[in-house]
Every structure is written in structure tokens, then in C-alpha cells.
Chains A and B, each alone.
Chain A
């Protein structure tokens, strides 16, 4: 799996957009970008994933650069409940389907009132 680099922590004001960056400069052509988050003392929660096109769902948007070497997760209107550690994961589907989910250090997002 390609290595990912994320800032260790970020702050965001409640109601504002939270933009969480991830660098994955060694990503291979068959690797997807996945985002999960983990609220303290709970299990991880899947957010969104993409290959090369930008993606949006009810939780977030994922912007992947054209060269696929970096991506940004956008929470459009952050709430206090979005305070969590956010993990960017790069993996091939074959590895993903056999449980190879490699969590790095992640970004600890603090949403403040």
C-alpha cells in the first residue's frame, strides 16, 4: 500500500468547512483513496472513497488531484460531532478485500464552537 502523510492535527470552527489534506505521492494506478474516521473509543467509520474522479456523498466530498498524488477530504459544514481522528488510506481492491486496511497516524480534527 502506498504511504500516506497527513497533518497530525487541525482545528475547525463549527459551521465552517473542514478541509483535510492527504499526500500519497507513491500511489499506484490500481490503488484507491479511502477515508475513515474514528471518534474516541468507537470503531472506525467509513466516509468516502475514490480512484481519480472527485466524489461526493451525504457525509463529505473527496477531491483527488489530477496526478493522484494528493487528495482532500471536505466536510462542508463541520459540527462538534465531527471531532474525530480522520484516516486517509490508499489500497488496492485486492488487498482491501482481504482485510488489508492500513491506518496511519491520521489527522485529529477538533471542531470548536
Chain B
């Protein structure tokens, strides 16, 4: 019954590494989102995409990029990981205007630690 799958639950990377976080949804949703969640800061939007090959910056895009080559897959890339990117990363999807009816479906999250 898994609908949004994130490739890793826990990840440890070294400073300066290029990091790929993968997200796949099987609901044929148009919209996909990447957030990070930090204690005391809530959920912050990094990037979102409303169609294949389309992307929009969220509130904190610096240090990140994204790729959406297929409708079901939305990848978050940390170009050169830094310790301040240690966080819980959450992927979500919604169906076009479906957010107004069904909300977002989230993945289980990837807890990334950069050392």
C-alpha cells in the first residue's frame, strides 16, 4: 500500500559529497515536493514540480537542485553536502488540484547526516 517511496530511511555522507535523494510515487500525481524538517523550524519547502521537467524554487533552494525526468520520480540533489544540510528530508505528492480534496501524500522521510 506504499504510495510515496523514498529510497533511503537513513543516510550518512561526508562534507563535500554529491548526494542524491530519490522519491517515487505510484499515484500518477502531477505535483511533487521536497521539504526538510528541523526541530523548531517546522517544514520548509525546498523545491516543487508540477510537471515532468518543470521545477520551481521553494523557500530554501540554496545548495539544492532537483530533477524530474519522469512523472513518477522526483530527485533532490545536494551538490556539495554541508553539515548544515543534516536534516530529515520529506518528499510529498498531490494530484493537480487534488491537494484541495485529498491533501498531500508524504513519504517516510530520509534522515540525512552530513559529517
Q: Which A residues have a C-beta under 8 Å from some C-beta of B?
A: 32, 34, 36, 41-47, 49, 93, 96-105
Contacts and interface: CB of A to CB of B under 8 A. Distances in A.
B58 A45 contact: no
A104 B107 CA distance: 20
A98 B42 contact: no
Interface string B69-97: 00000000000000000000011101001
B16 to A, nearest CB: 27
Interface residues of B toward A: which range?
Answer: 20 to 34
* Majority secondary structure of chain B interface residues (helix, strand, loop or mixed): strand
Contacts of A32: 100
Contacts of A100: 45
Given A44-B92, A93-B99, 19 more contacts: A36-B103, A41-B109, A43-B4, A43-B90, A43-B91, A43-B92, A44-B43, A44-B104, A45-B106, A46-B103, A46-B104, A93-B100, A96-B100, A99-B33, A99-B92, A101-B35, A101-B45, A101-B92, A103-B42
A45 B4 CA distance: 11
A32 B56 CA distance: 24
A43 B43 contact: no
A47 B42 CA distance: 18
Given A43-B106, A43-B109, A44-B90, A102 B42 contact: yes
A101 B100 contact: no
* Majority secondary structure of chain A interface residues (helix, strand, loop or mixed): loop
A41 B109 CA distance: 8
A99 B103 contact: no
Central interface residue in A34, A46, A49, by most chain B CB within 10 Å: A46
Given A43-B90, A44-B90, A45-B106, A97 B100 contact: yes
A43 B107 contact: yes
A36 B48 CA distance: 20
Nearest to A39: B108
A102 B94 CA distance: 16
B7 interface: no
A3 B100 CA distance: 19
